[in-house]
Structure 1
Amino acid sequence: MTSTVHPVDEILSARRMIALALQHVAVSYVGSVAVPLIIANALGFSQRDTVLLISATFFCSGLATLVQTIGFWRFGVRLPIMNGVAFSSVSAIIAIGTMPGVGIAGICGAVMMGGLFIMAIAPLAGRLRRFFPPVVTGCIITAIGLQLLPVAYQWAGGGHGSTDFGDPAFLAVALLVLAVILVLTRLGTPLLRNLSVLIGMTVGGLVAWGLGMGSLAAVLEAPWLVVPTPFQFGVPTFGFLPFLTIAIVMVVQTVESMGLFVSIGDMVEKEVTPADVADGVRANGLASSVAGMFAGFPFIAHMENVGLVILSGVRSRWVVALCGLILCVVAFLPKFGAVLAAVPAPALGGAAIAMFGIVAAAGIQALAKVDYVNNDYNMLIVALTMGIALIPTLLPTLFGQLPEWAQSILHSSVVVACLVSVTLNLVLNGTGDGDAEDTHLPGPDARRAEA
């Protein structure tokens, strides 16, 4: 008797695993290095301490990814999900770090306490799984892709702060990367198709460097070896206000993570149960508590890698787990990480347009399967959710005069899509799956029949 292994649990050959994992590393590293850099600059870190902070962040990101993908006991959602620090933490971290008498030690203590708090409420998060039917997850997936696309455009144009933003040479490199990905996807072998993003970025990066884009100075300046250690910035201190500040952010991130777990489960065609959601949230809390010991930040699922899973067609969580292991090693080797970070922005932008566009397309595909004929409430849910969720992406200044606590919630299109779609579905469809036969809501055809 043979048993079929789900693609999420499939273990590939060593050669494919390593190549695909490196592709995930390249995508995640370049985007993630920005957060510790912003924090270090805001808090006035020295160059040495900045290198330590970046290494600690990636070491913790690797550990968090291993826990989330492989899992143990009641920790880990066991899906191909990268874990990393989110931009939604930046303002709160800086606010805590600049409080009188708090500094980096207070950040560490607040994150450690926040992680314990998230672990404590994980069972509650699991019980909310039933509020994420297909019409909700479809909206969330679409919002993920659309929120990320402006980042891809920024990279394609030369990167944030570029003096020649939008230079035709930058756009040509991004277009070259897209062309390579398309050619390999159409004509390449299965392995080349799986690695099309990494190959496209490599070709685009080499051409960009040849044209004088980017700089390898950071590679030369980076030390050969750094050892992230617990409490390397001192013994953590604990205070109620820093904890409360970070706890609010982490609760919002938990809402976002819940939506991501269920949505990614739909993408890879693996059911995510309430227990799985709770295990994933619990893993986020554990990762954040451990990260606090290393001067890390709250950790949640990385949306950037979702598009790579879809575009490559490889759904194995073991590939992403190996990526986590590589990140742990890279944390000790700053020069290798500096090479990844030195990839010219246009080369990364071309790959990102493909990956993030694929995520949006996956959301549209999911929404196409929702029943609009027998339940016209679903059309209203999608329309209002997308109309409101895109405000932070298309016109973030619209919320500029709201209280700061409200802005911390409404900064992300994914969070807004989560809150709006869940609320509308609950009000209009109840706790069913959004189909008329389950919720007993008459669609237009049924109403005409009744008339």
Structure 2
Amino acid sequence: MTTAVHPVDQILPARAMASLGFQHMLVSYLGAIAVPMIVASALKMTTAQTTMLISTALFTSGIATLLQTVGFWKFGVRLPLMQGVAFSSVAPVIAIGSDPSLGFNGVCGAIIGAGVITMLLAPVIGRLKRFFPPVVSGCTITAVGLSLFPVSFHWFGGGRGAPDFGSPVFFAVGFGVVALILLINRHRSELVRNLAVMIGLLVGGAVAWMLGMGNFDEVSRAPWFTMVTPFAFGMPVFDIGAITTMVIVMVVQMVESMGLFVAVSEIVKRPITEQDATRGLRANGLASAIGGMFAAFPYIAFMENVGLVIVTGVRSRWVVATCGVMLCAVALVPKIGSLFASIPPAALGGAAMVMFGVVVAAGIKTLGRVEYDRNPANLSVVSITLACAMMPVMLPSMLEKLPGFLQPFVHSSVIIACVVSVLLNLLLNGVPARDESEHPIHTDNIQEV
């Protein structure tokens, strides 16, 4: 008997699930630990506290990923979305944590409170799904990819702050990884092709290490085992002002998440309903509340992993869920995590260039379905949106003097792309009709298994 299963819901063989999940973890690990490292440094935490913060961030990132990919009851958008710490939360977290009357306990209380409030707001924001037609989702996907390029360029050049940044040897390693990924993609075996990014990263990292890039100092200093427990920094402090600040930040993140949900659904060819979007936003709120309990942070989708979904063509949410389980496990063994983090930036840059490039290509493909001849207004939506979205990427200093209440919005290309494209589409094309279908039947790319 055969059953029609959408690629997003496919459960692959155990070997493929493990290897592909591991590949997602390699790609996401550095981004997952970046925010806790920045916050720990800014708040002058001890080495032990920093290690604890990294472990809790990884552990709760794994939980957030499972909530979003596997889902339960009215939680989870059930798409292949890796969840990670939202970079837009760094500034408010540091500001709250720097207040002597609050400290990091105040940060935890603010995130728990804001997470609960955003869960309650999820149905309201979820109703905005109809305002994200292909012209909007295409702009969002393209802006995501373009905004990620500076990250890959910094890695490609040897890492931000490297004394010999831009040295030809870094370019050699980076382009070598790109060439290896392209070569592997011509292999006959589908499994080998799907692991192209991981193989490129590991081989490129090994070559970079042999050339003297990077070191294993952090690996030797990291402990073998650590426990992740709730309220590791003490009981949370609930302050109305801090909670209000975090709610504002997380509402902005909800708008960004809405754009990402629709964008990813376009990429994997599984349209979502308002109910799906609401479940995804509700899962983000729950994950953030759990993060606050474990001394972690608010969570949002990592678009780096979406690039990996496009490169491999494997759209199974269960692969990303496997990555979530691995993150929880690695959080308990900091030495293994430090080994992943020691992959030289040049190798990461080569892999990132491929993945971020295909995100841009996916956005362009979506925009290619938009009608321009019969509706010239769409051309204005695309052109103005992308121009505005590139401001924080190309010239962030021009936005620094804008009012303080706008700062959480204007430093994210994704938020700008979402807001500008939605507003322009409403202004030029009118209000879209609400989709009354609660459970649409998806027929694209259904496979027999």
Q: Return the TM-score normalized by structure 1.
A: 0.95
Counterpart code for 1:107: V
- How far apart, in 1, do the equivalents of 2:13 and 2:187 lie? 22
Structure 1 residue identity aligned to 2:432:
G
What's 1:121 paired with? Answer: 121
Offset of residue 321 of structure 1: 0.2
Give matches, 1:190-209, under 5 Å: 190-209=190-209
Inter-partner Cα distance in structure 2 for 1:157 and 1:356: 16
Deviation string 1:222-261 (CA, Å, 9 cap, x unpaired) is 0000111000100000101111111111111110000000
**3-state secondary structure, aligned to 2:300:** strand
For structure 1, the 5+ residue unaligned runs are: 434-451
Alignment pair present for 1:351 and 2:351: yes
Q: CA deviation at 1:31?
A: 2.0
Q: How does 1:226-375 map to 2 (within 5 A)?
A: 226-375=226-375
Deviation at 1:187, TM superposition (A): 2.8
Task: Tell me the distance in 1 between the aligned counterparts of 2:379 and 2:4.
Answer: 37
Query: Paired residue for 2:2?
Result: 2
Match of 1:424 in 2: 424
Q: Any idea what SS the aligned residue of 2:231 has?
A: coil
Percent identity between matched residues is 55
How far does residue 271 in structure 1 lie from its aligned partner after superposition?
Answer: 1.0
Q: Distance in 1 between matches of 2:71 and 2:228?
A: 23
Task: Supply the distance in 1 between the matched residues of 2:206 and 2:188 (Cα, whole angstroms).
Answer: 20
Tell me which residue corresponds to 1:34.
34
Q: State whether structure 2 residue 349 is matched by structure 1 residue 378.
A: no
- State the 1:304 CA deviation: 1.0
Provide the residue aligned with 1:440 in structure 2: none
Match of 2:22 in 1: 22
Count of aligned pairs = 434
Contact 2:32 2:61 survives alignment (8 Å): no
Moved more, 179-188 or 375-384: 179-188
- In the other structure, the counterpart of 1:437 is none
Report matched runs for 1:374-413 at 5 Å. Answer: 374-413=374-413
What is the alpha-carbon distance in structure 2 between the residues aligned to residue 409 and residue 21 of structure 1? Answer: 32
Q: Secondary structure at the match of 1:44?
A: coil
Which AA in structure 2 matches 1:419? V
Q: 1:188: how far off?
A: 4.4
Q: Distance in 2 between matches of 1:254 and 1:335?
A: 34
Does 1:175 pair with 2:175? yes
SS of corresponding position for 1:186: coil
Partner Cα separation in structure 1 for residue 432 and residue 56 of structure 2: 44
Q: Tell me how far 1:179 sits from its aligned partner.
A: 0.6
Cα distance between partner residues in 2 of 1:280 and 1:125: 11
User: What is the DSSP-based 3-state SS (H/G/I as helix, E as strand, rest coil) of the residue aligned with 1:20?
Assistant: helix
For 1:308-337, what per-residue CA distance to the aligned partner results, in whole angstroms no more than 9, with x for missing partners?
000011000000000000000000000110
Q: Any conservation in 1 of the 2:112–2:293 contact (CA below 8 Å)? A: yes
8 Å contact 1:130–1:431 — kept in the other structure? no
AA matched with 2:62: G
Cα-to-partner distance string for 1:364-388 (whole Å, 9 max, x where unaligned): 0110110001111100100110111
Give secondary structure in 2 for the equivalent of 1:187. coil
Which string of whole-angstrom CA distances, capped at 9 and with x for unpartnered residues, describes residues 124-168 of structure 1?
A: 111111000000000000000000011000001011111110011
Query: What is the TM-score when the length of structure 2 is the normalising length?
Result: 0.95
SS at match of 1:300: strand
**Conserved 8 A contact 2:31-2:84:** no
SS at match of 1:315: coil
SS at match of 1:84: strand
Q: Which runs of 4+ in 1 moved over 2 A?
A: none
Structure 2 gap ranges (5+): 434-449
Deviation at 1:122, TM superposition (A): 0.3
The code of the aligned residue for 1:98 comes to S
Q: Letter of the 2:204 partner, please give it.
A: G
